[in-house]
């Protein structure tokens, strides 16, 4: 039996390396793997105490108390006293597309020119060498939806797993979402009242433009054959076939209603991305089967008068209305690393901790269309699992010690842990 | 004597009587004495004196006599004013009548555009384009007939006009609104000097912020005083020369907002100037602070219009602040009257000046007395401008500027017939002069001599109706002399009878055509007066019920809260002190201080709060914040140590309240990071509801913000032309600044020594040395009287900044942000700096490529005093959680982590003797937490500053309900405004902004 003492290994590696280039993606692991006696947070609301997870060939085989662990060539991780969670899923990100947002144009590949770009694919530009990726992984984020921006129809997003050599390796679900930006009906607050009227008109015109595109696409796709192939129309075929979802980026009520209107006309499956005002029309969203990704918990209220904790309690309001929602962590200064704490805040303001966990695991998987493969620790799913010292939603105890993607134990060092080691060494603090 | 009914006369050429000797006449001389005698009038001589059945004699534009027993002069045109009122014409003290509004050349300000360092003004003027003290309105003023008529029609006869452009705007001129040549309408050539915070059309980059405007004004007072000695180094500076010449005039400051008023007054206080302040209409919200300025005020009456808020998704974006202001704004003048603050009223700021009297009447409905309103439009402005000997009341010798009206001038239905200016008649509603109201019998004779007869009810010069069997559709217009009348002779008639005629001595007659087009003649005679209607009950007006709260917007207090004696029982007390964490412990606070910490405390007077299972910590101190301020960056120059955040605090910022809800009790408000040597900072306590002085942390060591790296070299501005553009240059900006400051200090010392030698006692050095506010602050740094908090990221710049400081004999007090601090922790320790960092920021720009979340922990282990700061209005309310991340990243203890947001920042800010830990005798700046204070699940239940509970989660829940109810009441009121047919403005969201480090105005 090969029992691996994880932190010992980690320490050794840390001493050896000083640059991130040495943090290799993990090799495929064919074989049995056990995570034993942990407190397993399934992701669907259940918590299983003192439970062992059996993994084979990267898939979760079964869970149970006192599962027999064979004494031969298997990997065993003792999670007694620790918390075991599904790998966290980041539902909206520019990971691998945007390295340094401000002042380094060459490091940015997230925004294409043009208004109607459904054929733009984030996946092909996804940079597995981005220094951000390992930092997210070390906080338990194992999968991310990487999303193109810009224009009115931005392109398609893909879900990637965060331990890959190249984008083809990384692809977890290719082109699962088509992203559109619902035009804004609001102007900047300092604009004169007349500008407000113009903004309304312009927004409605743009909306008509979106609809017109989809009407033409529908007509085109109904043709038996095409004299000239239109790449833009071809790119949204999956929407009409319900193999893709429409991600409408919208925060204000009017924008959300417009998105619902578009989805209804074409029968698309709709996800509202952003959704800061979604709580005000939660029942309507529920009736229309619309799911929501709340972009950022840690936001100020939208107006001076609004309840001071409105963004914190928005998830609870959606939960109570039965809306399927996930949480994101959009904060340009911390680059998504605080995803679990967004959920923690939601738990402090009305969600149960397990509901909050679902909002960054199983719910996200459902919304992204990968719930058949991941999002919870259940038999048959990929072994995308993390182990934490304590409650992962609370920063004072959220220390991820192990992470597995499809059963591969991935490394949790990153540029920051390495620089830490380097300077502890300089100062003789080790 | 000939008696004329004045009504029929229109003076087409009024300038004839104002003959000017030097101006050649094209034609025949036409000198007139223009003597008029107004009799039988009710004459309002001034706001306090009304004469009944009195007469007024005017000649050549001036008042000769006014009273009850004036002998009728022979050469006068007599005008019978029976039943009419004569009131002094109004004086507008804040117009730009006859002065072309300046146009801004060039593009609007853009942070990324190249900077303009020099003034565009041609001539030997000062360095800054926004200082235009050389402008003299009397030299650029031109009579404007259309504007004059517009303002005469709302009652004005005289105005103080100036060019509304720039921070110093030069002088104003008092002119009448007569249609005469410029030379003859001037009452006072140089009557006032004008100032504002707005640089107007100036294209120069500096100042780029409110605090920059204030600094520029302050420096100009100093420079102008220095210029009096004609320093050779300055050469000729006409702006400073004019500035000095203007000082003896009344000084008028356009501040436009309650806090702006207070800021302006403070500048005046510093330089011995009492400004007359042009307010913004929201002064009633802080009338005590306004009164304390001791200033006279100029108040606009441009009350906000009701908005279209029927769509709830729009209405959501209108703030309670704006809704309440909409309701209360018309009460502003009444609040001034009640407080005994002198004020003038002005139509300035009204988009439609025709609304002026309507809005004055609204002010009167809201409690302003009519006599005060008149005083505010006559005597007060005249006295402030020292022209009361010429205008503002009806006294012999004064200009004959007066209104003739149908009743007291501010009464609802009063009609102003005429506005006489400099003894010349201008008609306002002259057609109404002769009472035409009444019931008449109209007789129409056709060619065939058949006749028709109808009764006609005339309501006014533009409204009448035929009331035969039915009320018939009638069109009527009377211009004072001739009239036209058309109506359909029967209810179902589609054709009309059209009549035209003249009124002569009470008789109406004329011609016309009947429905067939046949000619008719007609006449009409007065039958009887209109049946009198019951006057509309003006007492019906519903007075506003919005409350003045502190602050005025949402979550404010009805009355400012007071310190309480509170005894917290059985809490877990995190002392942030040597005592460590104490379980099951009581904390007693009294008189704003921590009175006792221990077990089983008792106090008969204190309110006992059971804190079992709860936690108490010291209040959180945010070392790096940008809340509660009106501007953040003065980025126009690389060194702006003259600007001060304290000059533009904004006590109404809702983020103060929100951060209290996260346990913050003190915040260090910093200048932004737009330039290497930024502005002076201000430490505040979050005393929600206090004014700006009340927010300030008293007796603290003053600080200043420095910044290094990408922001100050303007990395994101593609066309940067502001030195420096590299880190190499940043270091030289520091070297240069402190070298200049060193030389400056030496020069001051030399000057002091020199003057001592001659006269034996110290004399101000400022006669020979130009006092420089920028260098003053740098000298303070070198003398350890002011301390630096330095925005910094990478190790090279951190190191060179320490070396520059060491060269000039001081230390950098705090490195803030300091994301590469871990690389030079040993050097900073040796230098003696404090450090203040983000817990986990990274990856947002090149200079944070090596930012690591372990930074705080490494620096802590290296013995540095480490703070965790926010630099973010949202994150500041979760600083306890940010501190907790240092446990996750780097493994510090819980108590060490909590100290990073309590006692450590207190030490870095030199206030650890008063706050930052729980120790008897310290300020009671405390937080009661629902849970472990480093847990994400903890909520601040009560946050206390100086023993006052400024945030209470239970109270917050009640406030939410009250806010919702009050919003609904006001929105319903606005909607009903629209329903009742009043004009409403299109919807517009309220301004609501949270400033951040890289904010530019």
Residue B95 lies in a domain: no
Q: Given an 8 Å threshold on Cβ–Cβ distance, is B861 in contact with A429?
A: yes
Give me the DSSP letters along B824-851: GHHHHHHHT-EEEE-SS--SSBGGGTT-
**Do A16 and A56 fall within a single domain?**
yes
**Domain annotation covers residue A228:** yes
> Is residue A103 within 8 angstroms of chain B, CB to CB?
yes
pLDDT-derived band at B758 (thresholds 50, 70, 90) equals low
Q: Give chain B positions within 8 Å (CB) of A197.
A: 986
Contact B986 A194 (CB under 8 A): yes
Q: How confident is residue B881, by pLDDT bands cut at 50, 70 and 90? A: very high
Strand (E) or helix (H) holding A208: helix A193-222
Separation between Cα atoms, residue A332 and residue B773, nearest integer Å = 37
CB B770 within 8 A of CB B740: no
Task: State the CATH number of the domain containing residue B8.
Answer: 2.30.40.10
Question: Are A396 and B654 an interchain contact pair (Cβ–Cβ within 8 Å)?
Answer: no
Q: Residue B542 has which token pair?
A: 């519903």
Terminal Cα distance for chain A, rounded: 32
Cβ–Cβ contact A71 with B under 8 A: no
* Domains of chain B: total: 5
Residue that the structure tokens 């304590």 belong to? A390
| Inside any domain, residue B76 | yes
In a shared domain, residues A298 and A356? yes
Q: What is the CATH number of the domain that holds A335?
A: 3.20.20.140
B309 plus B339 within the same structural domain: yes
**Which candidate, A51, A131, A128, places its Cα nearest to that of A85?**
A51
**CB of B965 less than 8 A from some CB of A:** no
> Which ipTM was obtained for this model?
0.95
Whether B578 and B473 share a structural domain: no
Q: Which of A252, A332, A341 sits opposite B936 (nearest CB)?
A: A341
pLDDT of residue A18: 41
Residues A223 and A359 in one domain: yes
Q: Testing the interface with A: which of B711, B852, B896 to mutate, by most A Cβ within 10 A?
A: B852
Query: Residue A80: inside a domain, yes or no?
Result: yes
Q: Which residue on chain B is closest to A252 by alpha carbon?
A: B313
Q: What percent of chain B has pLDDT over 70?
A: 95
Residue B551 lies in a domain: no
Same domain, A45 and A7: yes
Determine contact, residues A355/A349, Cβ cutoff 8 Å. no
Give tens-digit pLDDT for B292-325. Answer: 999 999 999 999 999 999 999 999 999 999 999 9
- Spell out which residues of chain A touch residue B817, defining contact as CB-CB under 8 Å: none
At A253-310, the pLDDT tens digits run: 999 999 999 999 999 999 999 999 999 999 999 999 999 999 989 999 999 999 999 9
Given this model, what pLDDT does residue B31 score?
A: 84
- Within 13 A of A356's CA, how many CA atoms are on the CB side? 26
Residues in chain A closer than 8 A to B313 (CB atoms) = 252-254
Which residues on neighbouring strands pair with residue A54, listed in sequence order? Answer: A34, A62
CA-to-CA distance for B125 and A296, rounded, in angstroms?
Answer: 53
Mutate to test the interface with B, among A333, A351, A352, A389 (most CBs of B within 10 A): A333
Question: In Å, how far is B884's CA from the nearest CA of chain A?
Answer: 5
**Total of domains in chain A:** 2
Residue in chain B nearest A388 by alpha carbon = B888
User: How far is Cα B860 from Cα B835, in angstroms, rounded to an integer?
Assistant: 9
User: Which of B888, B930, B951 should be substituted to probe chain A, the one whose Cβ sees the most A Cβ atoms within 10 Å?
Assistant: B888
Considering only CB atoms, B853 lies closest to which of A193, A301, A416, namely A416
Helix (H, G, I), strand (E, B), or coil: what is residue B538? helix
Tell me whether residue A236 is in a domain: yes
Examine the domain organization and report whether A133 and A63 are in the same domain: no
Q: Are A157 and A217 in the same domain?
A: yes
**Residues of chain A with C-beta less than 8 angstroms from the C-beta of B551:** none
**Residue B78 sits in which domain range?**
1-88+392-434
SS3 of B633-697: the string is: CCCCCCECCCCEHHHHECCCCHHHHHHHCCCEEEEEECCCCCCCEEEECEEEECCCCCCHHHHEC
Q: How confident is the model at residue B809, as a pLDDT?
A: 97
Residue B743 lies in a domain: no
Q: How many CB atoms lie within 10 A of CB B481?
A: 15
Structure tokens at A82: 């620790």
What's the angle, vertex CA B246, arms to CA B244 and CA B248, rounded to 5? 95
Whether B281 and B401 map to the same domain: the answer is no
Q: Would the CB atoms of A335 and B878 count as touching at under 8 Å? A: no
For B716-776, the three-class secondary structure string (H helix, E strand, C coil) is CCCCCCCCCCCHHHHHHHHHHHHHHHHHHHHHHHHHHHHHHHHHCCCCCHHHCCCCCHHHH
Q: pLDDT-based confidence at B9, cuts 50/70/90?
A: very low
Q: Are residues A81 and A153 in the same domain?
A: no
Express as a percent the part of chain A with pLDDT over 70.
95
Look at residue B541 and tell me whether its pLDDT is greater than 70: no
Nearest to B850 among A190, A302, A419 (CB): A419
Question: Which of these, B986, B968, B992, lies nearest to B306 by C-alpha position?
Answer: B986
CA nearest to B993, candidates B449, B628, B538, B594:
B628
What pLDDT band is residue B474 in, cutting at 50, 70 and 90?
confident
Query: Do A22 and A100 sit in the same domain of this protein?
Result: no
CATH number for the domain that contains residue A41: 2.30.40
A308 and A265 both lie in a single domain: yes
List, edge to edge, every strand of the sheet that includes B682-685.
Answer: B620-625, B664-669, B682-685
In a domain, A347, yes or no: yes
Nearest CA in chain B to A341: B936
Q: Would you state the pLDDT for residue B540?
A: 53
pLDDT at A14 over 50: no
| Structure tokens that stand for A254 in this block | 């009017």
The verdict on residue A381 lying in a domain is: no
Cα separation, A377 vs A55, in Å, equals 10
Of A197, A304, A417, the CB nearest to B654: A304
Q: What pLDDT shows up at residue B2?
A: 41
Tokens describing residue B735: 């070297």
Kindly state whether residues B524 and B447 are assigned to the same domain.
yes
* Whether the bond into B207 is cis, omega within 30 of 0: yes
Residue B172 lies in a domain: no
pLDDT at B538 over 70: no
pLDDT band at B421 (very low <50, low <70, confident <90, very high): very high
A230 found inside a domain: yes
A303 to B319: CB separation less than 8 angstroms, yes or no: yes
Asked if A58 and A117 sit in the same domain, the reply is: no
Shared domain for B385 and B517, answered yes or no, is no
B841 to A333: CB separation less than 8 angstroms, yes or no: yes
pLDDT score of A418: 96
Residues B964 and A310 sit within 8 Å (Cβ to Cβ)? no
The DSSP letter of residue B914 is T
Q: How far is it, in rounded angstroms, from Cα A349 to Cα A317?
A: 10
B362: tokens are 């609204």
Q: What is the mean pLDDT of residues B677-697?
A: 98
The answer, for A105 touching chain B at a CB cutoff of 8 Å, is: no
User: B residues 846-875 near A, CB within 8 Å?
Assistant: 846, 849-854, 858, 861-862, 872-875
Residues B419 and B475 reside in one and the same domain: no
Secondary structure, 3-state, A398-422: CCEEEEEECCEEECCCCHHHHHHHH
* pLDDT tens, residue by residue, B478-501: 888 888 999 888 777 788 889 999
Domain final residue, candidates B434, B452, B487:
B434
User: 């450590």: which residue's tokens?
Assistant: B904
> Which whole-number Å values give the CA distances from B445 to A125, A226, B452, B517, in the listed order?
95, 86, 7, 13
For position B106, what pLDDT does the model report? 66
Give which of B748, B722, B768, B704 is closest to B909, Cα–Cα.
B704
Rounded to a whole number, what is the distance in Å from the CA of A299 to chain B's nearest CA? 6
A276 part of a folded domain: yes
B357-407 pLDDT tens trace: 999 999 999 999 999 999 999 999 999 999 999 999 999 999 999 999 999
- Residues of chain B contacting residue A254, judged by C-beta atoms under 8 Å apart: 313
Taking 80 as the threshold, does the pLDDT of residue B473 lie above it?
Answer: no
Residue in chain B nearest A423 by alpha carbon: B823
Task: Over range B150-176, report the average pLDDT.
Answer: 98
Note whether B937 contacts A348, CB cutoff 8 Å: yes
Q: Which residue has the higher pLDDT, A14 or B962?
A: B962
Asked if A193's CB is within 8 angstroms of B985's CB, the reply is yes
Do B446 and B323 share a domain, yes or no?
A: no
Query: Which of B632-636, B810-814, B982-986 is predicted with the least confidence, judged by mean pLDDT?
Result: B982-986
Mean pLDDT over each residue of chain B, to the nearest integer: 93
Give the pLDDT score at B10: 41
Ramachandran assignment for B550, one of left (phi > 0), alpha (psi -120 to 50 degrees), beta (any other): beta
Instruction: Give the nearest chain B residue to A342 (CA atoms).
Output: B936
Statement: residue A117 has pLDDT above 80? yes
Q: Is the peptide bond before B551 cis (omega within 30 degrees of 0)?
A: yes
Determine the structural domain holding residue A195 and report its residue range.
Answer: 88-374
- The pLDDT tens digits for B765-810 are 998 899 999 999 999 999 999 999 999 999 999 999 999 999 999 9
Q: What is the mean pLDDT of residues B198-207?
A: 95
Residues of chain A positioned with their CB less than 8 A from the CB of B657? 308
The predicted-structure confidence for B807-850, as pLDDT tens digits, reads as follows 999 999 999 999 999 999 999 999 999 999 999 999 999 999 99
Residue B554 domain flag: no
- Let me know if residue B229 belongs to a domain: no
Residue B685, both tokens = 């306590």
pTM for this prediction: 0.94
Check residue B479 and give its pLDDT: 85
Residues B516 and B574 in one domain: no
Between CA A271 and CA B790 the distance in angstroms is 44
**Considering the domain boundaries, does residue A215 fall inside one?**
yes
Q: Which pLDDT does position B263 carry in this prediction?
A: 98
Alpha helices in A108-228 (DSSP H): 131-138, 167-170, 193-222
Q: Which of B842, B851, B888 shows the shortest C-beta gap to A398? A: B888
Residue B418 has pLDDT above 50, yes or no: yes
A189 vs B992: CB contact, 8 Å cut-off? yes
Residue B242 lies in a domain: no
pLDDT at B547: 95
| Residues 6+ positions from B210 with CB-CB distance below 8 Å | B197, B263, B630, B631, B647, B648, B1001
Q: How far is B799 from B537, CA to CA, in rounded Å?
A: 77
Contacts of B990 in chain A (CB under 8 A): 189, 303-304
Q: Which of B317, B874, B894 sits opposite A299 (nearest CB)?
A: B874
Q: At what angle do helices B773-782 and B210-227 cross, to 10 degrees?
A: 100
Note whether B956 contacts A338, CB cutoff 8 Å: no
Least confident range of B156-165, B437-446, B490-499, B860-869 = B490-499
The answer to whether B878 and B620 have CB atoms below 8 angstroms apart is no
pLDDT digits (tens, 9 = 90+) for A344-402: 999 999 999 999 999 999 999 999 999 999 999 999 999 999 999 999 999 999 999 99
- Of the partner residues A186, A298, A332, the one whose CB lies closest to the CB of residue B874: A298
Peptide bond preceding A40: is omega within 30 degrees of 0, i.e. cis?
Answer: no
Q: In chain B, positions 912-941, which contact chain A (CB-CB < 8 Å)? A: 932, 934-939
> Distance from A182 to chain B by nearest Cα, in Å?
17
Average pLDDT over residues B727-739: 98
- Check whether residue B851 and residue B788 sit in a common domain: yes
B958 CB-contact burial (10 Å; exposed 0-12 / middle 13-18 / buried 19+): exposed
Is the Cβ pair B874, A196 closer than 8 Å?
A: no
Quote the DSSP letter at residue B165. -
Please indicate, yes or no, whether residues B648 and B608 belong to a single structural domain of this protein.
no
Whether B697 and B840 map to the same domain: the answer is yes
- Rounded to an integer, the average pLDDT of A72-76 is 91
Instruction: Find all residues with CB under 8 Å of A276, minimum gap 6, and list them.
Output: A251, A252, A294, A295, A299, A302, A311, A314
Q: What is the mean pLDDT of chain A?
A: 94
Asked if A145 and A65 sit in the same domain, the reply is: no
Q: Is the dihedral of CA B144, B147, B150, B152 positive or negative?
A: negative
- Indicate if the pLDDT at residue B42 is higher than 90: yes
> Quick one: A214 and A335 in the same domain?
yes
Residue range A324-329: mean pLDDT, rounded: 98
pLDDT at residue B108 in the model:
63
pLDDT average, residue stretch B938-946: 98
Query: For A197, which of B321, B875, B986 is closest by C-beta distance?
Result: B986
Q: Tell whether A399 lies on the interface with B, counting CB pairs under 8 A.
A: yes
pLDDT of residue B54: 97
Asked if residue B477 and residue B517 are part of one domain, the reply reads: yes
pLDDT in tens, B582-600: 999 999 999 999 999 999 9
Which of B405, B434, B463 marks a domain boundary? B434
Instruction: Check CB contact under 8 Å for B986 and A333.
Output: no
Q: What is the pLDDT of residue B244?
A: 98
| Minimum Cα–Cα distance from A338: chain B residue | B840
Instruction: Answer whether A129 touches B (CB < 8 Å).
Output: no
- Contact at 8 Å (CB) between B827 and B792? no
> Which two tokens mark A227?
């004299």
Q: Report yes or no: A192 at the B interface, CB cutoff 8 Å.
A: yes
């Amino acid at each position: 039996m090969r029992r691996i003492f994880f932190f010992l290994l980690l320490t050794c590696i840390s001493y050896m390396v000083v640059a991130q280039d040495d943090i290799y993606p993990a090799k495929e692991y064919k074989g049995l793997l056990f995570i034993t006696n942990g407190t397993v947070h399934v992701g669907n609301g259940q918590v299983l105490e003192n439970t062992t997870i059996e993994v084979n060939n990267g898939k979760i085989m079964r869970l149970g108390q006192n599962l027999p662990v064979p004494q031969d060539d298997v990997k065993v991780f003792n999670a007694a006293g620790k918390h075991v969670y599904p790998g966290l899923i980041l539902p909206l990100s520019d990971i691998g597309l945007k390295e340094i947002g401000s002042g380094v144009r060459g490091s940015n590949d997230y925004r294409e020119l043009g208004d109607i770009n459904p054929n733009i694919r984030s996946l092909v530009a996804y940079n597995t060498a981005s220094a951000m990726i390992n930092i997210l992984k070390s906080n338990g984020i194992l999968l991310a939806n990487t999303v193109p921006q810009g224009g009115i129809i931005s392109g398609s997003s893909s879900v990637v797993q965060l331990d890959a050599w190249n984008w083809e390796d990384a692809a977890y679900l290719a082109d699962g979402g088509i992203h559109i930006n619902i035009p804004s009906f609001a102007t900047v607050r300092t604009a004169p009242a007349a500008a407000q009227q113009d903004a309304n008109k312009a927004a409605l015109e743009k909306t008509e433009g979106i609809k017109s595109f989809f009407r033409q696409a529908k007509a085109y796709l109904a043709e038996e054959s095409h004299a000239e192939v239109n790449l833009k129309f071809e790119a949204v075929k999956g929407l009409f076939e319900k193999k893709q979802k429409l991600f409408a980026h919208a925060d204000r009520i009017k924008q959300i209603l417009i998105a619902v209107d578009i989805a209804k006309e074409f029968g698309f499956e709709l996800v509202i991305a952003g959704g800061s005002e979604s709580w005000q029309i939660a029942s309507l969203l529920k009736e229309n089967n619309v799911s929501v990704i709340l972009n950022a918990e840690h936001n100020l209220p939208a107006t001076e008068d609004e309840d001071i904790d409105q963004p914190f309690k928005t998830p609870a309001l959606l939960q109570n209305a039965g809306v399927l929602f996930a949480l994101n962590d959009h904060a340009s200064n911390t680059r998504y690393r605080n995803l679990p704490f967004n959920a923690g805040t939601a738990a402090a303001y009305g969600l149960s901790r397990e509901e909050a966990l679902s909002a960054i695991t199983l719910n996200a998987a459902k919304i992204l269309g990968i719930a058949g493969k991941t999002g919870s620790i259940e038999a048959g799913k990929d072994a995308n699992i993390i182990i934490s010292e304590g409650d992962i939603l609370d920063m004072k105890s959220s220390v991820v010690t192990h992470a597995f993607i499809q059963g591969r134990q991935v490394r949790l060092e990153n540029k920051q842990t390495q620089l830490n080691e380097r300077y502890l060494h300089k100062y003789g603090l080790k | 004597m000939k008696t004329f009914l004045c009504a029929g006369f229109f003076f087409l050429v009024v300038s004839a009587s104002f003959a000017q000797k030097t101006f050649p006449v094209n034609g025949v001389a036409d000198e007139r004495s223009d003597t008029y005698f107004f009799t039988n009038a009710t004459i309002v001589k001034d706001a306090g004196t009304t004469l009944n059945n009195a007469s007024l004699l005017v000649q050549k534009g001036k008042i000769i006599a006014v009273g009850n027993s004036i002998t009728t002069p022979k050469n006068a045109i007599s005008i019978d004013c029976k039943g009419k009122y004569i009131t002094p014409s109004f004086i507008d003290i804040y117009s730009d009548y006859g002065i072309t509004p300046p146009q801004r050349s060039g593009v609007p300000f853009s942070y990324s555009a190249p900077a303009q360092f020099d003034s565009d003004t041609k001539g030997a003027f000062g360095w800054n384009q926004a200082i235009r003290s050389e402008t003299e309105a009397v030299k650029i003023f031109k009579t404007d007939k259309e504007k004059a008529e517009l303002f005469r029609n709302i009652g004005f006869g005289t105005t103080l006009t100036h060019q509304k452009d720039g921070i110093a705007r030069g002088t104003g001129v008092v002119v009448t609104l007569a249609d005469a040549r410029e030379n003859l309408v001037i009452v006072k050539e140089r009557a006032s000097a004008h100032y504002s915070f707005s640089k107007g059309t100036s294209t120069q980059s500096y100042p780029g912020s409110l605090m920059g405007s204030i600094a520029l004004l302050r420096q100009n007072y100093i420079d102008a005083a220095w210029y009096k000695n004609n320093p050779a180094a300055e050469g000729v500076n006409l702006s400073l020369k004019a500035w000095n010449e203007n000082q003896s005039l009344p000084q008028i400051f356009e501040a436009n907002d309650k806090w702006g008023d207070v800021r302006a007054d403070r500048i005046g206080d510093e330089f011995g100037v009492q400004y007359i302040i042009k307010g913004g209409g929201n002064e009633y919200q802080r009338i005590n602070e306004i009164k304390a300025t001791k200033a006279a005020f100029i108040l606009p009456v441009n009350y906000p219009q009701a908005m279209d808020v029927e769509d709830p998704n729009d209405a959501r974006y209108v703030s309670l602040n704006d809704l309440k202001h909409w309701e209360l704004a018309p009460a502003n003048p009444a609040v001034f009257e009640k407080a005994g603050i002198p004020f003038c009223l002005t139509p300035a700021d009204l988009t439609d000046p025709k609304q002026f009297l309507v809005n004055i009447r609204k002010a009167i409905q809201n409690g302003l007395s009519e006599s005060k309103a008149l005083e505010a439009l006559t005597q007060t402005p005249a006295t402030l401008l020292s022209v009361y000997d010429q205008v503002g009341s009806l006294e012999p010798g004064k200009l004959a500027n007066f209104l003739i009206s149908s009743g007291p001038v501010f009464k609802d239905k009063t009609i102003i017939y005429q506005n006489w200016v400099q003894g010349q008649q201008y008609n306002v509603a002259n057609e109404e002069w002769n009472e035409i109201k009444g019931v008449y019998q109209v007789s129409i004779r056709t060619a065939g001599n058949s006749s028709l007869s109808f009764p006609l009810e005339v309501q006014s010069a533009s409204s009448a109706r035929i009331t035969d069997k039915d009320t018939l559709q009638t069109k009527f217009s009377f211009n004072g002399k001739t009239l036209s009348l058309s109506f359909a002779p029967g209810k179902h008639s589609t054709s009309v009878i059209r009549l035209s005629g003249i009124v002569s001595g009470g008789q109406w007659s004329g011609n016309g055509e009947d429905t067939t087009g046949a000619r008719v003649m007609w006449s009409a005679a007065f039958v009887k007066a209109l049946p009198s209607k019951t006057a509309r009950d003006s007492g019906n007006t519903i007075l506003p019920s919005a409350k003045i709260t502190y602050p005025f917007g949402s979550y404010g207090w009805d009355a400012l809260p007071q310190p309480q004696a509170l005894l917290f029982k059985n809490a877990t007390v995190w002392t942030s002190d040597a005592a460590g964490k104490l379980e099951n412990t009581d904390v007693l606070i009294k008189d704003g201080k921590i009175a006792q910490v221990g077990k089983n405390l008792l106090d008969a007077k204190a309110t006992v709060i059971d804190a079992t299972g709860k936690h108490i910590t010291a209040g959180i101190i945010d070392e790096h914040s940008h809340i509660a301020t009106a501007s953040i960056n003065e980025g126009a120059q690389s060194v702006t140590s003259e600007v001060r955040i304290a000059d533009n605090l904004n006590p109404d910022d809702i983020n103060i309240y929100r951060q209290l809800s996260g346990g913050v009790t003190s915040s260090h408000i910093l200048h932004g990071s737009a330039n290497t040597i930024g502005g002076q900072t201000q430490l505040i306590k979050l005393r929600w509801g206090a004014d700006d002085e009340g927010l300030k942390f008293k007796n603290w060591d003053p600080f200043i913000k420095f910044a290094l790296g990408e922001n100050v070299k303007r990395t994101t501005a593609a066309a940067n032309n502001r030195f420096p553009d590299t880190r190499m240059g940043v270091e030289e900006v520091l070297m240069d600044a402190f070298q200049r400051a060193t030389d400056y200090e030496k020069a001051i010392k030399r000057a002091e020594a020199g003057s001592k030698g001659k006269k034996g006692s110290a004399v101000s050095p400022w006669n020979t040395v130009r006092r420089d506010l920028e260098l003053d602050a740098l000298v303070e740094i070198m003398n350890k009287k002011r301390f630096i908090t330095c925005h910094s990221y990478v190790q090279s710049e951190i190191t060179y900044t320490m070396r520059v400081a060491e060269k000039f004999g001081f230390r950098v007090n705090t490195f803030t942000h300091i994301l590469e601090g871990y690389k030079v922790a040993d050097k900073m320790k040796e230098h003696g700096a404090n450090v203040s960092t983000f817990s986990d920021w990274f990856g947002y720009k090149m200079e944070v490529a090596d930012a690591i979340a372990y930074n705080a922990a490494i620096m802590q282990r290296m013995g540095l005093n480490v703070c965790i700061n926010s630099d973010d209005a949202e994150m500041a309310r979760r600083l306890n959680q940010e501190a907790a991340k240092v446990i996750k990243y780097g493994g510090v203890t819980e108590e060490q982590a909590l100290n990073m947001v309590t006692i450590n920042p207190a030490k870095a800010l030199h206030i650890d003797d008063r706050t930052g830990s729980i120790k008897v005798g310290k300020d009671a700046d405390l937080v009661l937490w629902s849970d472990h204070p480093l847990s994400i699940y903890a909520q601040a239940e009560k946050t206390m500053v100086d023993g006052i509970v400024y945030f209470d989660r239970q109270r917050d829940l009640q406030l939410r309900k009250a806010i919702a109810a009050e919003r609904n009441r006001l929105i319903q009121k606005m909607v009903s405004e629209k329903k009742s047919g009043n004009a409403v403005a299109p919807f517009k969201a309220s301004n609501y902004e949270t400033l951040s480090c890289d904010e530019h105005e």
